[in-house]
Amino acid sequence: MTRGTPPAPPASRPPRFPLALKQVSGGTRAPVGEVLRPQAPLQHAAATAAQQAAGRHQPSGLGLDSAAVRQRMVQRLHADGIRVDAVLQAFATVERHRFVDTALATQAYEDTSLPIGLSQTISKPSVVARMLALLFDGATARAQGHLGRVLEVGTGCGYQAALLALLGRSVVSIERLKALHDKARENLAEHRHGDLRLVYGDGRLGHPPRAPFDSIIAAAGGEDLPAAWLEQLAIGGRLVAPMQDAARGGQGLLVVDRRPEGLQRQWLDAVHFVPLKSGAA
C-alpha cells in the first residue's frame, strides 16, 4: 500500500454483540442421529476409578478415550463401505495402539500404515478391513457366519491376528522374522481370544498340521501364489492375498475360492504391501 492511500473499508461489518437470535441459530449442527452425551465426563470418571481399582496400566497419550477413538475409526470404515458387523465389532474391540511403539500410539487410529520395525509395517485399517470383509464373502464363511479355520501369513506385530482370533474358530499365524514373531507373542500375551497359534517359519509353506483352512489371508505380497496355500485351502474356503498382477503391472488383491468344481480366481483392488519372502530369518 502506498503511503497516504486511505485504508480500504472492511468488506462486511464485524458482528456486534449481543447477537440477534437469527445470527446465533442456523450454524453448524450435530448430524441427525448423533446422540450428545453430556454425562460422558462422569462416565469417564467412573471408568477411571474402576480401572485404577483394577490396577490396570493406562496407555500413554490415548488413555480412556481409546474406545471412543476406535469407535470413530469404525464409523469411517462403515462409511467406506465395510458392512460386515463382525468385522466392525472386531475393529472396535482390538486396541491397535497396543501393537505399535508408544511414540506412534496417537496415530494408531488414523487410516495409515505404521512402522513395526525391521522395515515392516502394520497395514492400514481400511485395507485390513477390506480384506477381512472379502474373506467373509467366501462360501463357508457366509454359511457359518465366521471365518472358520484361518491361516494368516505375516503375523508382523500381531494386530490382524488379534482381529482374526475374534472372527474365526481357530487361527494359525506365521511370521518369518523371529524378532517380529517374538514381539507379536509379547503383544498378544494378554490378548488371548480363542484358539490363536503363532508359528515362526516360512508362511509360503502354509501349515500342514492344521490344514485345510477355510480362510487364508496374506499380509505380504508375492510374485506368485504359493502352491501350498492352494493345497491347504478347504472346499468352500477363500484366500485373499496381495499378489503381483502381470496384467496390471503392480500388486493387486487376488481372491481365490475353492469350489467343489475347482478353483476360481478374481483380481480386485490395486494395493501395495511389503514383499512376501522365502525362508525364515
What's the closest the beta carbon of residue 172 comes to ligand SAH, in angstroms?
11
What's the closest the beta carbon of residue 201 comes to ligand SAH, in angstroms?
7
Is the CB of 100 or the CB of 255 nearer to ligand SAH? 100
User: Grid coordinates in use for 217?
Assistant: 489371508
Distance CA(168)–CA(184), nearest Å, equals 18
Is the CB of 216 or the CB of 276 nearer to ligand SAH? 276
Interface positions with ligand SAH (CB under 6 A): 116, 120-123, 153-154, 156-157, 159-160, 174-177, 180, 202-204, 219-220, 274, 276-277
Distance CA(19)–CA(30), nearest Å, equals 21
What's the closest the beta carbon of residue 100 comes to ligand SAH, in angstroms?
9
Is the CB of 116 or the CB of 236 nearer to ligand SAH? 116
**159: closest CA among 203, 198, 133?**
198
Is the CB of 157 or the CB of 255 nearer to ligand SAH? 157
List helix spans (H) across the chain.
21-24, 40-54, 66-79, 85-93, 125-135, 139-144, 159-167, 178-188, 227-231
Residue indicated by cell numbers 488413555: 63
Active site residue 60: no
Distance CA(253)–CA(272), nearest Å, equals 9
What's the closest the beta carbon of residue 221 comes to ligand SAH, in angstroms?
9
Is the CB of 84 or the CB of 177 nearer to ligand SAH? 177
**199: closest CA among 163, 148, 158?**
158
Residue 101 is classified by DSSP as -
**239: closest CA among 32, 63, 250, 222?**
222
Catalytic residue among 123, 170, 173, 215: 123
**94: closest CA among 43, 131, 118, 129?**
129
What's the closest the beta carbon of residue 177 comes to ligand SAH, in angstroms?
4
Residue 85, CA distances (Å) to 90, 143, 222 in order: 9, 15, 30
Q: Which residues are catalytic, by number?
A: 123
